[in-house]
Amino acid sequence: MLTLAVTEWTPTATVSDPVEDLDGPLVRSAGRGDAIAFEALYRRHNGRVHGVILRLVGGHAGRAEDLTQEAFVRAWQALPSYRFESAFSTWLHRLAVNTALMELRSRRSRPQASDDEDELDNIGTPDSAGHVTALTMDLERAVATLPPRARAVLVLHDVEGWKHEEIAAELGMAVGSSKAQLHRARGLLRTRLGGSHDA
C-alpha cells in the first residue's frame, strides 16, 4: 500500500519544518532524481491534478490528459528547487492549475473552434472522491459549456477555493472582473441546469 511506503520512507536529512507534509520524504528523493519516488508521487496525485485540469479545459479529455502529463513533467523539472514552504500537494496543484491556465490563455489568442457535442458525452468522470452521479454529470456538462474565462473563475473559486485576488492575479484581470465572471458563470449554470431539475 502506498501509505505504508510513504511512512516507511526515511529521508536522508531531518528537517523540523512544520509545513512539511506526508509527501516530504518522497519529494526529497524525487528532487534528487529518484524516478521511483516521483512515480509514487504521480500515482498519489494524478487523479486530483487531472480532475482540476479537466474542469478548467471544459471536459475535453484529450486536452486534459496532455496537460496533466505536461504538469507532471514541469513538476519533475521544478522539484530540485521546491522549498517546502507549502505542502507538496498544494504546490503541485497550483502548478497544474497554472499549466492549464497558460494553455487557456494561449487558446484565447487563436480562433476558437466550435464545441464538439461528442466531447460533452465524455465528461461523466469521477470527482475527487471517486463518485459519478447523474447530477455531477449534468453539472460537469453545464460547466463545460461555459465561456472559458467564466469557467476558469467558477472552477477556481467555487471548486478549488481560491480568493478573487488570487484568481485575478493568475488570469490577468481585475478583482472586479473576477467577481463579475463568477456571477456570470453562476447565472449561466442556473439557466442551463434549471430546465433539467425542478426547484
CB 190 within 8 A of CB 182: no
- Cell digits for 169? 492575479
Give residue 18's pLDDT: 39
Query: Residues 60-83: what's their mean pLDDT?
Result: 92
3-state secondary structure string, 88-122? HHHHHHHHHHHHHHHHHHHHHCCCCCCCCHHHHCC
Which three-class secondary structure state does DSSP give residue 127? coil
Distance CA 189, CA 143 (A): 7
| Residue 124 grid cell | 461523466
Q: How confident is the model at residue 194 (pLDDT cuts 50, 70, 90)?
A: confident
pLDDT in tens, 124-157: 344 444 444 444 557 778 888 888 888 889 988 8
Q: In terms of pLDDT, which residue wins out, 54 or 17?
A: 54
- ∠ Cα 67 129 78 (to 5°): 35
**First-to-final CA distance of the chain:** 44
Question: Of 6 and 94, which is predicted with more confidence?
Answer: 94
From residue 173, alpha-carbon distances to 34, 74, 103, 176 in Å are 39, 25, 16, 8
Amino acid at 169: A
> Are the C-beta atoms of residues 165 and 130 closer than 8 Å to each other?
no
Q: What is the pLDDT of residues 161-186, one digit of tens each?
A: 889 998 888 888 899 999 999 999 99
